[in-house]
Amino acid sequence: MAIATERSSFICRATRVDGWWAISVGGLPGAHTQARRLDEAEAAARDMLSLLFDRTPDSFDVTVSAELSREERDALDRIAEARERYEVAKSEVAIAQRSALSLLVDQEGLTIRDAGVIMGVSYQRIAQLTGQVD
């Protein structure tokens, strides 16, 4: 007879305390551990939970959320907004490059290598934009 096992998920909060990350699991009294670096927090939480529930560390899902100040969260939000603007700008650049390339190659009869020199981009970038080979 097969026994159904449900995969548990845990959300852990990591708080910086005296040079360490203090890790706790909400709703589980006594479920605390620590890690020197944040990239070690998930493994530490898994080890703690595996001991607590007598299960293997890979038998459940763990999400670690670092507790940050308002100023830190605002700084991260500014990064996310800048990345969004960057992605839009990259798309606009590619559209403008394709348009210029079309003018130079199709209307002026230049090779894509010459068009790349004029546009200040590599032959490889021109090839990406067109899918053509000179």
Q: What ranges do the domains of the chain cover?
A: 8-67, 71-130
Residue 1 clears pLDDT 60, i.e. is over it: no
Q: Are 62 and 46 in contact (CB under 8 A)?
A: yes
Among 66, 72, 79, residue whose Cα is nearest residue 40: 66
pLDDT per residue as tens digits for the range 63-86: 999 999 999 999 999 999 999 999
**Which top CATH class is 8-67?**
alpha beta
pLDDT at 117: 93
| Secondary structure tally for the chain: helices H, strands E | 4, 4
With the C-alpha atoms ordered 79, 85, 87, 90, is the resulting torsion angle positive or negative?
A: negative
- List, in sequence order, every residue forming a beta bridge with 11; answer none if it has no partner: 63
- List, in sequence order, every residue forming a beta bridge with 14; answer none if it has no partner: 23, 66
Residue in the structure block whose two tokens are 């053509």: 132
Residue 61 clears pLDDT 80, i.e. is over it: yes
pLDDT at 104: 92
Distance CA 128, CA 61 (A): 40
Among 54, 32, 56, residue whose Cα is nearest residue 44: 32
Among 109, 108, 105, 47, residue whose Cα is nearest residue 126: 105
Whole-model pTM above 0.75? Answer: no
